[in-house]
């Protein structure tokens, strides 16, 4: 493996390019290992929604260092099954630092007192319950790991394994993995499935904005169904 001393990053595009030049031949667990143990030691976190594909990435991280902070975006609108799944994976992999990232209570009171903002403005609801809470928490880290893959949406088709972002570097170790790759890893490692997958929920977000996927539909078609929305907001705008 291409190992080197930690680099001094100012977390801009140039730094991402430098990291790609050094480690661009790595992906998956190999990329994670050098980022967690060397480049960003004690300065990196995994951001997870504990959705249908989360177990693959979480197991990789846990096998490298189970004390790696896991920032769990608990929006207050998640399925109960997702909350239980987070506990199942935490116990299975011995995770010692799962941090439930919740929306600010005063902002909820001011902007979504009746809990129905999602019916009026889904982008505003995602901003309130996901983007802003993560923005407040992520400032303590120099880098964060995402579970995004190129096959998921057209907007992610050119996703880099390493990205520059204002304030942090994003690591996308599964960018090149297809659904068959993920399923093969899950089967080989006997990874627990999200309880809702068997019920037809193939990509799982918040309960009000996620539905079952019908036969023949794209696996993400159950997210924000009936709209042109494809991203919650944490990976667009200033977060790209």
Active site residues: 232
The residue with tokens 């983007």 is: 131
Residue 178 C-alpha from the chain's centroid: 16
C-alpha span between 128 and 107 (Å, rounded)? 7
C-alpha span between 65 and 56 (Å, rounded)? 15
Three-class SS of residue 169?
Answer: strand
Q: Give the sheet arrangement for strand 162-165, strand by strand.
A: 98-101, 70-73, 44-48, 143-145, 168-171, 162-165
Tokens (6 digits) for 87: 């506990």
DSSP codes of every residue in 83-115: HHHHHHHHHHHT---EEEE---HHHHHHH-TTS
DSSP state for residue 197 in the 8-state scheme: G
Nearest to 84 by CA among 230, 198, 201, 194: 194
Three-class SS of residue 128?
Answer: helix
Tokens (6 digits) for 65: 């260092």
Nearest to 160 by CA among 173, 141, 151: 173
Per the document, the length of the chain is: 240
Three-class SS of residue 47?
Answer: strand
């Amino acid at each position: 493996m291409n190992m080197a001393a930690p680099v001094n990053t100012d977390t801009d595009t140039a730094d991402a390019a430098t990291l790609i030049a050094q480690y661009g031949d790595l992906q998956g667990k190999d990329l994670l290992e050098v980022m967690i143990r060397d480049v960003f030691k004690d300065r990196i976190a995994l951001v997870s929604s504990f959705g249908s594909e989360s177990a693959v990435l979480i197991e990789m991280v846990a096998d490298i260092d189970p004390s790696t902070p896991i920032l769990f975006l608990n929006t207050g609108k998640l399925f109960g099954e997702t909350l239980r799944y987070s506990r199942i994976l935490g116990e299975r992999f011995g995770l010692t630092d799962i941090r439930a990232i919740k929306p600010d209570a005063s902002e909820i009171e001011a902007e979504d007192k009746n809990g129905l903002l999602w019916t009026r403005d889904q982008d505003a609801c995602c901003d309130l319950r996901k983007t802003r809470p993560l923005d407040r928490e992520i400032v303590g880290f120099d880098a964060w790991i995402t579970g995004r893959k190129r096959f998921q949406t057209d907007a992610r088709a050119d996703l880099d394994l390493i990205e520059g972002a204002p304030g942090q570097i994003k690591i996308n170790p599964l960018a090149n993995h297809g659904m068959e790759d993920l399923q093969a890893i899950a089967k080989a490692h006997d990874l627990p499935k999200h309880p809702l997958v068997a019920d037809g929920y193939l990509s799982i977000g918040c309960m009000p904005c996620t539905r079952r996927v019908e036969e023949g539909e794209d696996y993400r078609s159950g997210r924000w169904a009936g709209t042109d929305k494809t991203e919650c907001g944490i990976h667009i705008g200033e977060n790209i």
